[in-house]
């Protein structure tokens, strides 16, 4: 569906929230803020609306979408055979960046789940989106609001630049607080399994539930839509040590951009150099935004310094592994 004009709405204006809700209820597409990344939302009970998400993103229809709901009390509308551990996790981590995979309720359109028998569900914590879900008494299917295979957007301006003309509206809710996509936890098998690492770690889930959690290293091929070449800027991205980057920088003939971790001492001063914060939450929040902006500088490559690799950094390293080539 080609939309001619995309409205830019703001969560600051009550009437804009009303407009966003009306568009969703009528089967249109609205990019909505979440705490992780901006989503491209459609009423999840409307097969036609959900189909138009795939058209706007240029994404294959076999890729399942996450349904965003207002609270754990809504789970029974979307899933069946819900194990008690789902409620334990919901109580602790919702609203928040944890997506639970459960067995899909038969009445959910198969377009939402790419024909799969499972469904991804989460309660987002952005107050404006929660308000829309509650007021409309709806669930919205929403993938990240990026064109297929590109970086997930963490600001309304980024969504607007990439998708204007293809969607009805973008609801500006400010920069995303978390900045990386949610953890996806599969609860449909006997053993809990993380399909995509995210802000909620396997350790946090295991500690809370007392059950073990697997994080398969090859999970990127397990699910359509979770493939290696996602999460990339257009510019080639390379990851290495600071010494490798500085050596490459001294040889480079064409302009390259660099992203360093923490300590800025003794770094060259240059318009194409960025430093990301030392603390993991602040690093994650800035990562996509930084890559997105550098991507628009028309440099020949972006060189990124390897950040720490401890358990807390699992999601950052997962995304960098998919996006970057080693030196």
Q: Which residues bind ligand TXA (CB under 6 A)?
A: 34, 36-37, 39, 63-66, 97, 99, 101, 113, 116, 118-120, 142-144, 181-182, 184, 195-196, 223-226
**Closer residue to ligand TXA in complex, CB, 181/197:** 181
Q: Rounded to a whole number, what is the largest CA-CA distance in the chain?
A: 60
Q: How far is CA 136 from CA 19, 69, 95, 273, in A?
A: 12, 11, 18, 45
**C-alpha to C-alpha distance for 111 and 109, rounded to whole angstroms:** 5
Query: Where along the sequence are the contacts to Mg ion (CB under 5 A)?
Result: 144
The CB density around residue 306, as the number of other CB atoms within 10 Å, is: 17
Partner from ligand TXA, Mg ion, none contacting 37, C-beta within 5 to 8 A by type: ligand TXA
Q: How far is the CB of 139 from Mg ion (least distance, A)?
A: 18
**Closer residue to ligand TXA in complex, CB, 143/307:** 143
**Closer residue to Mg ion in complex, CB, 36/144:** 144
The CB density around residue 240, as the number of other CB atoms within 10 Å, is: 18
The token duo for 87 is 């409620």
Q: How far is the CB of 203 from ligand TXA (least distance, A)?
A: 19
Q: How far is the CB of 44 from ligand TXA (least distance, A)?
A: 12
Partner from Mg ion, ligand TXA, none contacting 274, C-beta within 5 to 8 A by type: none
Q: How far is the CB of 219 from ligand TXA (least distance, A)?
A: 10
**Closer residue to ligand TXA in complex, CB, 200/303:** 200
Q: How far is the CB of 37 from Mg ion (least distance, A)?
A: 7
**Closer residue to ligand TXA in complex, CB, 170/303:** 170
291's CB contacts (< 8 A; 6+ apart) are: 151, 233, 237, 259, 302, 323
Task: Determine contact, residues 188/103, Cβ cutoff 8 Å.
Answer: yes
Which residue's CB atom is positioned nearest to Mg ion? 144
């Amino acid at each position: 569906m080609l939309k001619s004009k995309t409205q830019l709405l703001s969560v600051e204006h009550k009437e804009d929230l009303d407009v966003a809700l009306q568009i969703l209820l009528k089967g249109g597409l609205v990019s909505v803020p979440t705490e992780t990344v901006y989503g491209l939302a459609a009423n999840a009970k409307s097969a036609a609306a959900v189909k138009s998400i795939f058209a706007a993103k240029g994404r294959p229809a076999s890729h399942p979408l996450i349904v965003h709901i207002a609270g754990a009390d809504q789970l029974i509308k979307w899933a069946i055979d819900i194990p008690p551990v789902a409620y334990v996790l919901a109580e602790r981590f919702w609203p928040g960046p944890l997506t639970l995979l459960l067995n899909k309720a038969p009445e959910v359109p198969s377009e939402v789940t790419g024909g799969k028998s499972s469904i991804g569900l989460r309660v987002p914590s952005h107050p404006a989106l929660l308000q829309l879900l509650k007021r409309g008494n709806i669930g919205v299917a929403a993938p990240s609001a990026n064109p297929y295979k590109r970086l997930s957007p963490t600001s309304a301006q980024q969504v607007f630049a990439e998708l204007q003309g293809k969607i009805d509206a973008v609801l500006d809710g400010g920069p995303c607080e978390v900045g990386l996509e949610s953890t996806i936890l599969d609860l449909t098998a006997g053993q809990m399994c993380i399909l995509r690492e995210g802000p909620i770690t396997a350790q946090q889930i295991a500690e809370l539930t007392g059950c073990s959690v697997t994080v398969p290293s090859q999970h990127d091929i397990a699910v359509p839509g979770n493939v290696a070449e996602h999460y990339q800027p257009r510019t080639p991205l390379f990851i290495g040590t600071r010494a490798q980057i500085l050596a490459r920088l001294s040889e480079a003939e064409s302009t390259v951009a660099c992203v360093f971790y923490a300590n800025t001492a003794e770094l060259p001063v240059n318009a194409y150099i960025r430093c990301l914060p030392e603390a993991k939450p602040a690093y994650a929040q800035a990562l996509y935004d930084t890559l997105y902006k550098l991507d628009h500088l028309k440099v020949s490559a972006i060189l990124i310094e390897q950040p720490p690799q401890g358990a807390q950094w699992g999601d950052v390293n997962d995304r960098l592994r998919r996006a970057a080539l080693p030196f």
